[in-house]
Structure 1
Amino acid sequence: MRRSLAALLALACVAATPARAQAVPGSADARLDALLDAEWTWRTNELLLDPEGSNRPVTGMPHVDAASQQRRRAYWSAALAKLDAIPADQLSNEASINAAVFRTALTAYVNQIRFGEYEEAFGFWTWLAPRQGFAKAEDYRNYLGRLRDMPRYVDEQIVNMRAGLKRGFMPAKPAVAGRDRTVEPLASTVMEQNPFYTAFAQMPGSIPPAEQERLRAEARTVIAGRVAPAYAKLLVFLRTDYMPRARDDIAAESLPDGKAYYAAKVKEFTTLDLTPEQIHAIGLKEVARIDADMQATMKASGWKGDFAGFLHFLKTDPQFTAKTPYQLLAHAAYIANKANGKLNETIGLLPRYRFTILPTPANIAPFSTGGGGGLDSCVMNTYNLPARPLYTINPLTLHECVPGHSLQAALALEGPNRPPIRRTTYFSGYGEGWGLYTEWLGIGWGIYETPYEEFGRETYEMWRAARLVIDTGIHHMGWSRQQALDYLSSHTALSDHEVTIEVDRYIKDAGQALAYKLGEMTIRRKRAEAEAKLGERFDQRWFHDVVLGLGSVPLPVLEQQIDLWIAGGGKNPNAAPER
């Protein structure tokens, strides 16, 4: 799950924010609140966001042209300067968290524009089409407005990509190969094949049948007349101009101002001050540790051969392959249900919001990872079933669905009275760290019922540790793509298909893969410290409530707040204050 400025531009709806307690006028907290509120008002207008409950119809796509990008950079840079003028030592604890989130998020946004990331817009179309229908007819009319604006939006993205080609800021060849096929359905005038029409095939019964037909008829006209031609134009551009000129060098540091760019991406995704060399060393150490665990599990399974033979067995034996997409989705649902049965003893404050499990959209499934999490749904990739061994579905479900990203997103939606940026910002180090941590929690829940399933969990942990080595290897140390493929394949039971998809993802999204393991290591280290210092007073429910109750924060802030909780005796953070 990745959230960046590019993702924010595609958002149509974000969580509502209840009224907050008012700070003392003139105080540092009040000055910060005013800055946060002003930026949010500007942001919702600038990026065409629609905070839930605002009744603000969003009937167009945001502008992504160079002038708009530079306007955002100027605004956010000015906001950071105003933040610097507020005395940090006078902020309350809650306000200091708000300030840290604000600073970290805006610094990333400014850097993304500073380095011209918007000029490397390949893949901007990936998640634009809604996965499900809307609740009201008005929502459909607003969506139709956005669809009508799609040609202008696509044209601006093409102009941006042309600018990227001109200055040498474009993807590497392995990261684009074949991915033009993901645009083909968007260019289709056959409604049942076009993902932009999916929402109209799932209209709720609360909309009268006649109104439903009017909306569907309008959708068919707009998609066939405006949306499909825009993506057909994009497809021609990608195939004739863009993809043939993709760069041969796969390292981010080979891009313009590449060393500074990669350093900025490392900081953005991890929220930590670590060098590529330090991260590479951490990865090698973790790989060695997890390898010992995998060797032990292999022996416990009764395997008599060597490690390479065991990996081959796991990757090829049909007993580990779902026979139908339904079987894979049903297995994920079973794991999610088992996890739900353990939540009461693991987390104190649980959300009301519920999610569903869906297959990854067909147009992007061939190039997507095993699954993805989200508020309304988590998705499981049912494309190429032999590449999705069932022994990896257990940790994947915990990570993406429950108690991972879908539960995490629901708690953020229902969280306390905080500024909107606290409720909508996503830091990968925190979010992906929690996701990987929940895979480890599954050990104590009986999620891994066989040595093969435990080896699947270890494969997923090794996968994230190997990323630390591979990402820094590719983008900083001169690794070749084949070197990365061999490293991941020889250390995990991931299928060859997933190994290839993953390595190409690391080539495309420099730094993002570093977040998972570094975030998980932070949470597990702080839990160990809490257990040691609190002894019998330690309750994992309250520890998890502290972690989840903060919402997405930079990892140093998470550490600081856990330290404060430990110093306070490890109490229930949601308990009513004593009188």
Structure 2
Amino acid sequence: MSATGRVRLRLSTLCLLMLGACAAAGIALALPGVVPQDAVRDNVAATRLHALFDADGAWRRQEYGYTEVDGRWRQSARLPSNTPEAWERRAAHWSDTLAKLDAIPADALTREDQVNLAVFRTAMQADVENAVRRTWEAPFNSDTFFWTGFAPRQPYQSEQEWRDYIGRLGDIPRVFDEHIDNMERGLARGWSVPLASLDNRDNTIVPYTLDDAANPLLAAFDTIPATLPEAVRAQLRADGRKVVLEEAVPAYRRLLSYMRKDYLPRTRTSISAADLPDGAAFYRGQIREYVTRDMDPREIHELGLAEVARISAEMREVMARAGFEGSFEEFLAYLRSDPKFYARSPHELLATAAYVAKKVDGQLKHVLGTLPRYRFTILPVADDIAPNYTAGRGGLEACWFNTYDLPSRPLYNLPALTLHECSPGHSLQAALALEAPERPDFRQRTYFSGYGEGWALYTEWLGTLMGIYETPYEDFGRLSFEMWRAARLVIDTGLHEYGWSREQAIEYLASHAALSRPDIVNEVDRYISWPGQALSYYIGYKTIRDLRVEAELELGADFDQKTFHDTILRLGSVPLPVLEEEVRGFIAEQKAALSEV
């Protein structure tokens, strides 16, 4: 019996035991046959809604090849199909599910189920739009590739997980062939990744074409834990080596040849999303997907310009506090070139990040009421993707920091980066979502960029209240990161709405943020090839900052940031309009409670 079933059984038993006592006390109970009509209506609507949740979950596990272990989804021994027929099947399923959702009266649901419905519908609408637009015909971008991510970031712990990994490696030839067929279809209709954003990206395939320990797929088998018997480890290594050399490596070699001889010479030379088929509507759809609200690109552009001006003034104030007497441009040059701002080894960079993360641990009790039990680790970005990867990325299992090209990784940026990626940003946020109150399981897997990236950027600012920034340079690094996200509003819309060139975008970011040149180029290429995603950070951040100002004004001296933050994090990932409704409901409840005291 499920946990929900056990709770319902206990409640039913308790109600029966209470019948006599309630009757003696004159308390009316809603017995079978006299259930209030509203309750019946609520139960019918909720039953239909949760039946859709359950059906979709079962469908997704089958469709994408997942198994469920201890309540968590895990990839099985097969990889999902990427054929046009598979995408047509998915689009039909999602469209049918949306039609059934629309037939459920939202006003008959509890507030919790209204949130569930909003999360489910918003995510599925994005799924449908991408499937119908056939975005899968350009199945990668300058930042994220379908040919990486197969090797485990941390060693699997069970024999079955290793067996499943070997099974997926054997599936790589089919998957790559499907992607190549789709890319050919995309090229034929003018739907492809911009060439300008793909410099050296083909080189990320090269490590997987090797037949020695430098191949990440083979190297993974050297990490099989000693907790498995030696005979099992030996057999796994032998089976893994066979499938890598006979199946995966040839597939990677074919892919590399295709990319260099066919795709790159033929992919589009334009960079704006507007140049894609029905590009203007596609870009607005991407904004809707990542920001989770309808916003006009020109409105976003103007917001970005205003925020860039505000942050610029703050950056100059911090520059003065650092005692620098030259121009702003000279200060940026100084920060980018002085060796004292850079780690001398990968270990030093990772150790600095770990120190910041531990310093944050000591402050969490002052900013959060609920702390997760799950723990993350800190790891370097894998060598095969590091040259074209962002400075860091965080998730449930780990925070990854890029140690490639250390002269481009200033240490004064690490406090803000650690807050964002690790704690109280992405890793902590993911752990709280995992440990959230019982909800439909899709709520743990759904991620809205506006909410998640907005919270993570907000935690960079929160570090100013936590005492994390120890020097003016670290505070300038924080502001440089904030500027980086605000400038994205200008650059992303500049590229895809106003027709900016790649060089114009690079120079705009370089003149406003103390990022290294390689980071700036990688970031602009990401905005070119991934329209709309970069807008989510600052708009989500501004939404949370504005809500905090609203709560502080409404509650005055009774404002408690711990309950404010718990309200946001307890929700899990939700669309920004839902976040606003829930936080404003929290403010109203707090005010009502205070008025009764």
Regarding TM over 0.5, the answer is: yes
Q: Look up the match of 2:102.
A: 84
Aligned pair in 2 of structure 1 residues 464, 18: CA closer, same or farther (>3 Å)?
farther
Matches within 5 A, 1:378-527: 378-527=399-548
Please say which of residues 464-473 and 145-154 is displaced more in the overlay.
Answer: 145-154
Question: SS where residue 568 of structure 1 aligns?
Answer: helix
Q: Look up the match of 1:151.
A: 173
Matches within 5 A, 1:26-105: 26-53=43-70, 58-105=76-123
Alignment check: 8 A CA contact 1:170 1:246 kept: yes
Are positions 1:248 and 2:269 aligned together?
Answer: yes
Per-residue deviation at 1:199?
3.3
Question: SS where residue 403 of structure 1 aligns?
Answer: coil
Q: Look up the match of 1:360.
A: 381
Q: Look up the match of 1:136.
A: 158
Write the deviation string for residues 473-494 of structure 1: whole angstroms up to 9, x where unpaired: 0011100001100100000110
Give, in whole Å, the separation in 1 of the partners of 2:43 and 2:457.
42
Are positions 1:266 and 2:284 aligned together?
Answer: no
- The letter for the 1-side match of 2:67 is D
TM-score calculated relative to the size of structure 2: 0.91
Give, in whole Å, the separation in 2 of the partners of 1:228 and 1:551.
40
Alignment check: 8 A CA contact 1:537 1:570 kept: no
Q: Look up the match of 1:205.
A: 226
Give, in whole Å, the separation in 1 of the partners of 2:256 and 2:243.
19
Q: Look up the match of 1:120.
A: 138
Q: Look up the match of 1:184.
A: 206
Aligned residue among 94, 111, 125 for 2:129: 111
Give, in whole Å, the separation in 1 of the partners of 2:438 and 2:149.
29
Give, in whole Å, the separation in 1 of the partners of 2:521 and 2:296.
26
Q: Look up the match of 2:296.
A: 275
Aligned pair in 2 of structure 1 residues 393, 307: CA closer, same or farther (>3 Å)?
same
Alignment check: 8 A CA contact 2:66 2:75 kept: no
Write the deviation string for residues 216-251 of structure 1: whole angstroms up to 9, x where unpaired: 111111111101111111111100000111211100
Q: Which runs of 5+ in 1 are unaligned?
A: 1-16, 573-579
Matches within 5 A, 1:531-546: 531-546=552-567
- The letter for the 2-side match of 1:84 is D
Aligned pair in 2 of structure 1 residues 100, 57: CA closer, same or farther (>3 Å)?
closer
Per-residue deviation at 1:51?
3.0
Give, in whole Å, the separation in 2 of the partners of 1:388 and 1:64.
37
Per-residue deviation at 1:571?
10
- The letter for the 2-side match of 1:156 is E
Give, in whole Å, the separation in 1 of the partners of 2:536 and 2:219.
33
Alignment check: 8 A CA contact 2:390 2:519 kept: yes
Per-residue deviation at 1:57?
7.5
User: Could you tell me the percent identity over the aligned residues?
Assistant: 51
- The letter for the 2-side match of 1:420 is D
Alignment check: 8 A CA contact 1:488 1:499 kept: yes
Give, in whole Å, the separation in 2 of the partners of 1:26 and 1:325.
57
Per-residue deviation at 1:194?
1.7
- The letter for the 2-side match of 1:118 is W
Aligned residue among 364, 368, 377 for 1:343: 364
Alignment check: 8 A CA contact 1:298 1:310 kept: yes
Write the deviation string for residues 180-239 of structure 1: whole angstroms up to 9, x where unpaired: 01111122211x212223432222222111111110111111111101111111111100
Question: SS where residue 464 of structure 2 aligns?
Answer: coil
Give, in whole Å, the separation in 1 of the partners of 2:261 and 2:502.
25
Give, in whole Å, the separation in 1 of the partners of 2:148 and 2:504.
28
Give, in whole Å, the separation in 2 of the partners of 1:491 and 1:325.
27
Q: Look up the match of 2:21.
A: none
